[in-house]
Structures are given as structure tokens and as C-alpha cells.
């Protein structure tokens, strides 16, 4: 996917937008509320990060960006899996 997070892979979600049609309860199918297809986009940020000793530009979603920027807690510092998963953020552009 082109429009997705480089860290977690979160991408565009599809669904349907349903309008509320007042006063149509009780099976009147002729005046049923319309449903239209729509897209929900990910909140992506272009960020310079350090990955494997190299500085590269990545597209990160807000959740991954916040997770990478916050200081590691004592429990997380001992866990090796979380340190490998999160890139080190240099700057947000």
C-alpha cells in the first residue's frame, strides 16, 4: 500500500457512511436512509528516523510516532523486543 505506516502497516480503511433518516422506522423501504461508500485515512507524518545506523525518511502513523518519541519505561528498557520494533525519531517534518 502506498498510503500506509512504514512501521505497523496501518492503511486506508473502507466502510459505509449511513445518514440518519428521521421518521422512517417500521419498514418503509422506499424512504430508507441512504448508505454511501467512503474511506477513512490514516494520520501519517513524514519523519526522519535512524534505522540500522542510517538516517532515512519514513511515513509513521500518529500512534507509532508517539510510541517512538516517548521515553522508555523501566519495564520497556529491559525488554529487547520493543527496542527493536521502534525506530529512533530525529525530526518531524
pLDDT at 67 (0 to 100): 87
Class of residue 45 by CB neighbours under 10 A (exposed 0-12, middle 13-18, buried 19+): middle
pLDDT at 68 (0 to 100): 83
Calpha distance 35→2 (Å, rounded):
27
pLDDT at 80 (0 to 100): 53
Task: Return per-residue pLDDT of the chain as tens, 93 residues.
Answer: 589 999 899 999 999 998 877 765 566 666 777 889 999 999 999 989 888 888 899 999 999 988 888 776 665 555 555 455 566 666 665
Domain 1-22+32-70, CATH homologous superfamily name and number: Ribosomal protein L28/L24 (2.30.170.40)
pLDDT at 85 (0 to 100): 57
Amino acid at each position: 500500500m502506498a498510503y500506509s505506516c512504514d512501521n505497523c502497516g496501518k492503511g486506508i480503511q473502507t466502510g459505509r457512511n449511513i445518514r440518519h433518516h428521521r421518521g422512517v422506522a417500521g419498514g418503509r423501504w422506499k424512504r430508507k436512509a441512504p448508505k454511501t461508500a467512503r474511506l477513512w485515512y490514516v494520520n501519517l507524518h513524514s519523519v526522519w528516523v535512524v534505522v540500522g545506523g542510517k538516517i532515512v525518511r519514513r511515513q509513521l502513523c500518529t500512534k507509532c510516532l508517539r510510541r517512538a518519541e516517548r521515553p522508555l519505561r523501566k519495564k520497556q528498557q529491559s525488554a529487547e523486543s520493543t527496542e527493536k520494533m521502534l525506530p529512533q525519531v530525529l525530526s518531524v517534518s
